[in-house]
A and B are shown apart, each in its own frame.
Chain A
Amino acid sequence: MELGLDVRKVGSHSVVDVKGEIDVYTAPKLREKLIELVSEGSYNVVVNLEGVDFLDSTGLGVLVGALKRVKAHDGNLTLVCTQDKILKIFKITGLTKVFPIHTSVEEAADGAA
């Protein structure tokens, strides 16, 4: 399955709407997009995972890498996710303490300033 990546601006935030499955096959595409955003000066990024059907540890690694990049510029990377099956991998790996996770893009953009 192809990974869908759409980028839009909400206030001062760059929102990446992700659709599909994030795994070892598709994660490089997400990594490239997030690196591109940071290199263009977007340091407050919201990754919307509501359209994601599957996420594995390779995908987590990409999000961790992006979080480190934006933090290096005093920015932040927040997530939007309400799906239990996707939230579970963040809980098991303890990354719920690392990523701010919101229930909507609007909430993420408000809270991630």
Chain B
Amino acid sequence: MLEFVAQNEPACVPELRRHVRDFLHTLRVDPSISYDILLATDEAASNAVAHGRAPHGNGLVRLRCSADRGSVVVAISDEGSGFDPSAVEMHRLPNWTAQGGRGLFLVRELMDEVHIDASSEGTVIEMKRHVELPTTRGVPIPEA
């Protein structure tokens, strides 16, 4: 389990990515899947920076990352005033000329399960990606 808390500001996003990258590296997750999880984490964290600042002061962004034998789960939470997830187009891309609005679409495409819990006290985006983590096989002890 990895937990990390940072001030809600743009500089926290590469820092969160670095922690998740190290976590996934330790688990020996396949590099292409690891990149997908990093990108989804980045998009959720960028969303928190853009839309999830606390009413007074920036507030905090929290990262929680866990793994079992079959999946990696990353949760990003903020202290903003929340938003209506049903009003966000996660399944449709904006017109190509739009300079934003692709982040949550990407999260949905890159991860297997996405849950958004938004309230007046903040938003939590929890994302799960199925992975096959390498198993450590015991090395047989040579017979004497």
The answer to whether the Cβ of A23 comes within 8 Å of any Cβ in the partner chain is: yes
Given contacts A85-B32, A85-B35, A98-B96, contact A58 B46 (CB under 8 A): yes
Q: How many residues of A contact B (CB 8 A)?
A: 26
Given contacts A21-B14, A25-B14, contact A94 B93 (CB under 8 A): yes
Question: Is the CB–CB distance between A92 and B13 below 8 Å?
Answer: no
The answer to whether the Cβ of B54 comes within 8 Å of any Cβ in the partner chain is: no
Q: Mark A49-62, 1 if CB is under 8 A from B, else 0.
A: 00000101110111
Question: Is the CB–CB distance between A92 and B42 below 8 Å?
Answer: no
The answer to whether the Cβ of A89 comes within 8 Å of any Cβ in the partner chain is: yes
Nearest Cβ on chain B to A79's Cβ, whole angstroms: 14
Q: Name which of A58, A61, A64, A85 has the most chain B CB atoms within 10 A of its CB.
A: A58
Q: Mark B104-129, 1 if CB is under 8 A from A, else 0.
A: 01100110000000000000000000
Which residues does chain B contribute within 8 Å of A93, judged by CB atoms? 93, 102, 105-106
Given contacts A1-B14, A23-B13, A68-B97, contact A92 B46 (CB under 8 A): no
Which residues does chain A contribute within 8 Å of B17, judged by CB atoms? 21, 23, 54
Interface hits, B83-102 → A, CB 8 Å: 93, 96-100, 102
Q: How many residues of B contact A (CB 8 A)?
A: 26
Contact for B102 among A1, A60, A62, CB less than 8 A:
A60
Question: Is the CB–CB distance between A25 and B39 below 8 Å?
Answer: no
Question: Is the CB–CB distance between A56 and B42 below 8 Å?
Answer: yes
Given contacts A23-B46, A93-B106, contact A57 B13 (CB under 8 A): no
The CA-CA distance from A97 to B100 in the complex, in Å, is: 17
The answer to whether the Cβ of B38 comes within 8 Å of any Cβ in the partner chain is: yes
Nearest Cβ on chain A to B141's Cβ, whole angstroms: 41
**Whose C-beta in chain B lies nearest to the C-beta of A56?**
B42
The answer to whether the Cβ of B43 comes within 8 Å of any Cβ in the partner chain is: yes
Question: Is the CB–CB distance between B46 and A64 below 8 Å?
Answer: no
Question: Is the CB–CB distance between A92 and B106 below 8 Å?
Answer: yes
Which residues does chain B contribute within 8 Å of A97, judged by CB atoms? 96
Contact for B13 among A25, A84, A85, A94, CB less than 8 A:
A25
Contact for A24 among B10, B32, B38, B99, CB less than 8 A:
B10
Which residues does chain A contribute within 8 Å of B11, judged by CB atoms? 25
Which residues does chain A contribute within 8 Å of B49, judged by CB atoms? 24
A residues lining the B interface (CB < 8 Å): 1, 21, 23-26, 54, 56-58, 60-62, 64-65, 68, 84-85, 88-89, 92-95, 97-98
